[in-house]
Structure 1
Amino acid sequence: MKMTPRSALYMPASNQRAMDKARGLPADAIIFDLEDAVAPDAKDSARAQVVAQLAAGGYGARQLVVRCNDLSTPWGRDDLQAVAAAPGLHTVCLPKVESTGQLQAVTDLLDACGRSDMAIWAMIETPAGIANVEQIAACERVAALLMGTTDLCAELRLPPDEARRGLSYALQRCVLAARLAGVMVLDGVYLDIGNETGLESVCEQGRALGFDGKTLIHPGQIEIANAVFGPSPAAVERARRLLQLWQETSEAGAAVAVLDGKLIELMHVDEARRVLATAEHIARL
């Protein structure tokens, strides 16, 4: 079963110490960032550091992703060619995806590098990305949509708002597009690093909207994101009870299964299996 990260931490590729530290962090995914987090004069050295970091390994069951610069920049092609040859990397993240043409150009380059297996996490952070998100999500190599809410707020000229009211349509449309395409969808970052109450609130909002997890910018945000987007002990126990009851009901040839007074259907069984698989994956981190 495909696992969805509760937490995906952006890690500056120019910061060797931070990348080393990431081996011991409880994030489900690490996104080594060659784009926004790296100054233009440090792009080449950061790229080399990421490749060396991937070769060194030691990240356990965490999913590793590299956010490359766009192909329209002076660094995009070199980024993709370098990470395509990197050991242990199976996913690249692309910024400001606005069309299927962008994705096709990246796919063609990866294929030319012999990496037809490499998946793409597409960042949706502009009005054009929102307008074309259904087509973007449906592209064969896309495995996840990532909200770029900071840039999107700027382009939409939205005033500061903890409730994110101006983003409501965009967030919901991206969740719907992800579900239609059968891919993951991760909420955008929260910039107020020291505000744990605010972070928890926005994580709860994201989960209520249907997001699978959250992208993060600081290690101190991981625990809250994991708690909100991960299964609670009570949810894991209920999933075990549900599957046991479903098996017993099926073996007995009964027409219906009822748990805690509620009718159990196949969709609930699938969700229970997902919860248990997630819990098992978390235990391996």
Structure 2
Amino acid sequence: MKRRLAAAAACFAFAFAAQAPLRAQSCAAAPIKLQILHSSDNESSFLDPNTLEPKARNYSALYEGLTQLAEREGMQSIHVTAGDHTLPGPFYLAAADVPELGAPGLGDIAIYNAMNLAANGMGNHEFDGGINDTARMIDFANYPWVSVNLDFRNVVLEPGTPPIRIAPDAAVSTQDAGQVAKSTILQVGEDCIGFIGRSPADFFNVVADPPNTLPGLDFVGGRGEGNQPNVSAIPQVLAQVDELKAKGVNKIILIDHAQDFT
């Protein structure tokens, strides 16, 4: 995806009437007031490479201010990203020289950890540094990474790289931290919010040399002509809706990295 020209990813919220009894997790059925703080395509721009302006201060100030505003208005607030929040460059690479981080991209993840990110959709730029960088970023996160249509089961990692752990469908987000999931559940006050992720269908055409940089990664169901997925993501998303509803979740957010379509 071309920087600056691609549109921001979409974050769509859908409310579904609960049709199953509540499970062990307590999920309120009543409507709630909810603020969704969403960003995408930050592309490791927390430090301007030309002016060295610490953009993280502006981002965090907006996050903190809007969170306080929601609290004042008596509503819950959650923070999500639909992906492309890292991109190889000076800020991304500098994290490898910080002893507390020790690998590219982890500076970005540390900032998102500090801002209580609830869930991370997956675009394509998270993978530009190769699958080993991606695996380290996933493992370092205090939140789950969600995508119904990327299949990580056969990825090949270098020795010493943390494995990419795959969480069960529709599990509690605190148990999914640092893992990949198709869907996850966040406890928000007395309610539960479900998250489902979808990665772009053109994923393998916008990542450089995927056979060598992302060995073993594929779409669920594989790829066909033009590197397009053999299986549509729509039924995969709907299957996760059913999984979440079966656990009493009636408020579900689709984090969709839709690129130029949004």
User: TM-score of the superposition, structure 1-length normalised?
Assistant: 0.35
User: TM-score of the superposition, structure 2-length normalised?
Assistant: 0.38
Greater Rg over alpha carbons, structure: 1
> Which structure exhibits the higher relative contact order, with contacts defined as CA atoms closer than 8 Å and separated by 6 or more residues?
2
